[in-house]
Homo-oligomer: A and B are copies of this chain.
Amino acid sequence: MEKFKGLDEEKQQKILDASLKEFAEHGYEKASTNRIVKEAGIGKGMLFYYFTSKKDLYEYLTEYSLDFTVDKYFQRVDTSETDFIERLKKTAQVKMEAQMENKNVFNFLGTFMLSPGADMPPHIQKKYEHMLEMGNRMIYEGIDLSLFRDDVDVEKAFRLIRWSIEGYQNELLHKLEGQNIAHVDFAPYWDEFYEYLDILKKSFYKKREWEQ
């Protein structure tokens, strides 16, 4: 595993990509080390030279993904923004950037979170819990509640807004499936996304005086 870290970035990334993809697509049990080495373009032996076992590889990937998510996503969200919807807007942008930088990490972590940590070593479980907590703070901490209408439960409004945004993101992801993400022009989708956010503001926020 120290062996692996000594490789040049490019080769490391190729192996990480192949592995993340394989585990994301098939889950731990049914993921195939044979397919991984073929996809990564290395001999079978090397994988078990870098990592002692399939499980060892999987744990390395998990830790790598958690670190990546915290560094490139959670840590970059501007939590000084107190307008809930505006913060979600910025969150979405940062998330998209991180996703462009490494699509596979998100797919991998997605499947991991469906049945988390079953028998992960404690230090990884700690990291995972830390990430969850950080994600929560990133979204909810320091929000200006006075922007919301007085006649709805703010907690519930939070959730409705979050579900709406997740719904849009999922539908977009599904629509763009199969296309080469790098070649897609996202501008019109951002515009559309902002329109949805405007509607959410009109709907869940107080009417402000200067609007007629």
Which chain A residues have a beta carbon within 8 Å of chain B's beta carbons?
Answer: 30, 149, 151-153, 156-157, 159-160, 162-164, 166-168, 171, 195-196, 199-200, 202-204
Q: Judging by beta carbons under 8 Å apart, are A167 and B162 in contact?
A: yes
Number of copies: 2
Q: Judging by beta carbons under 8 Å apart, are B203 and A156 in contact?
A: no
Closest chain B CB from A141 CB (angstroms): 21
Given contact pairs A149-B203, A164-B167, A166-B167, a sample of 5 additional A-B residue pairs in the complex whose CB atoms are under 8 Å apart: A151-B202, A156-B195, A159-B167, A160-B199, A163-B167
Q: Judging by beta carbons under 8 Å apart, are A156 and B199 in contact?
A: yes
Q: Judging by beta carbons under 8 Å apart, are B30 and A152 in contact?
A: no
Closest chain B CB from A40 CB (angstroms): 22
Select one of B151, B157, B159, B196 contacting A160, CB under 8 A. B196
Chosen A-B contacts, 20 in total, with CB atoms closer than 8 Å, are A30-B30, A149-B202, A151-B202, A153-B195, A153-B199, A156-B196, A156-B199, A157-B199, A159-B168, A159-B171, A160-B164, A160-B167, A160-B196, A160-B199, A160-B203, A162-B167, A163-B164, A163-B168, A164-B167, A203-B204
